[in-house]
Amino acid sequence: MSMRSQVYAWNGANNNTTLANNAATAYGTFNNLSGTQISIFIGGFGNNITKPAETTATEFVVIEDISCTPSLNANAGVATNDIAGVIAGAGAAANGVGNAAAQLNTGQLATWQLTNNLAAGAAYTGCSAGVFGPRMYVQVRINTTDYFLNPDNVTNAGIPGTASPYPRSLDFQPSFNLYPDVYVLPGQVWDVRVTSFARDSAAAASIGAGGATVAVAYTGDWGKAPAGTAGIVAGDAVMNGIDFNAFCKYTLYDGPDALIANKLLEMGISINPGNVDWYKRSLLSAQGM
């Protein structure tokens, strides 16, 4: 098996089975890590692997797709989930812990509640600032170089999940296709890194504005369930690590196929299984077979 299609799916829930999804690990919780870029391989959050992703001298990796959890624009300060259904008890308990498909309003936005906390008053501790989702981005890094840049050549957070959603649904379809592919040459270290600009309101602080102190509205915050509402665990975080996903699809060329991949690279030919096979056939033809 010298050409292998591979995937790596990452979820931000902690991988400690003794903890709830939104419970803190030794590293904290991913949903409170707003603005910090994290490796999906060795970032210390969610499912990880044992060492940095790298190619050996006889390996060649072609990254063909990356994607992450999408977001949806909304009008600020409004609800986008069926709170009535939650209160009525249909799947309420499950929704309280953040995994009830029954409360799904749209696509993969299950478990996300964008609450109008200002209108609801003290019952809600969360805020919404007009984005329904984690505002999540995914970047590829080869050795120390980020792949995606702004037009001013400054590195950015990467591909928005809204442009390359994972999982895909009717509501969220890709606007982005990773073409040309990203090549990881033999001996290189590569990484897929995610950044979210949402945050759990449990860490809500306050900021001064014109001398007054007002509550911080975290963009993309789904808020917290209202305390004391029937069927919902008081203060249970609606957003937690399980709501953050990332996905990477790549092909691993090993041994002779990695050598052929290098040869194709020299020749300016796209590296894909079809072209590797074409090169093998060419070699066989040259030998009279």
Partner 1 sequence: MSMRSQVYEWSNLAPGTVVGGGVGSVLNRSQNDLPVQVPANVSTDIFIGGIGNNITKPAETTATQFIVIEDISCTPDLAGSVQVRINTTDYFQNPDVTQMNGVPGTASPYPRGAPSVNPTGTGANTATGTVITTFPDNLLKSFDLYPDIYVLPGQVFQILYTTVQGTGATAFAGNTAGQVVSAFVKYTLYDGPDALIANKLLELGVTINPNNIDWYKRSLIEQQTRSAVAAAAAPTNGGGQ
Residue with smaller CB distance to partner 1, 54 or 181: 181
Structure tokens at 67: 């994607």
Asked if the peptide bond before residue 174 counts as cis, ω within 30 degrees of 0, the response is no
Burial of 112 (0-12, 13-18, 19+ CB in 10 A): buried
Q: How far is the CB of 76 from partner 1 (least distance, A)?
A: 3
Q: How far apart are CA 59 and CA 94, in angstroms?
A: 45
Q: How far is the CB of 123 from partner 1 (least distance, A)?
A: 5
Q: Are 52 and 41 in contact (CB under 8 A)?
A: yes
Strands 145-146 vs 245-254: parallel, antiparallel or unpaired: unpaired
Distances (CA, A) of 182 to 10, 43, 68, 74, 275: 19, 21, 17, 33, 16
Buried-exposed string 125-158: b where 16+ CB fall within 10 A, e elsewhere: bbbbbebbbbbbbbbbbbeeebbbeeeeeeeebb
Q: How far apart are CA 91 and CA 99, in angstroms?
A: 10
Residue with smaller CB distance to partner 1, 127 or 258: 127
Q: How far is the CB of 167 from partner 1 (least distance, A)?
A: 12
Could you tell me which residues come within 8 angstroms of residue 1 by beta carbon, excluding any fewer than 6 positions away?
254
Residue with smaller CB distance to partner 1, 14 or 71: 71
Q: How far is the CB of 211 from partner 1 (least distance, A)?
A: 12
Q: How far is the CB of 1 from partner 1 (least distance, A)?
A: 27
Residue with smaller CB distance to partner 1, 14 or 196: 196
Q: Which residue in 109, 91, 126 sits closest to 222, CA to CA?
A: 126
Q: How far is the CB of 52 from partner 1 (least distance, A)?
A: 20
Residue with smaller CB distance to partner 1, 20 or 76: 76
Residue with smaller CB distance to partner 1, 47 or 123: 123
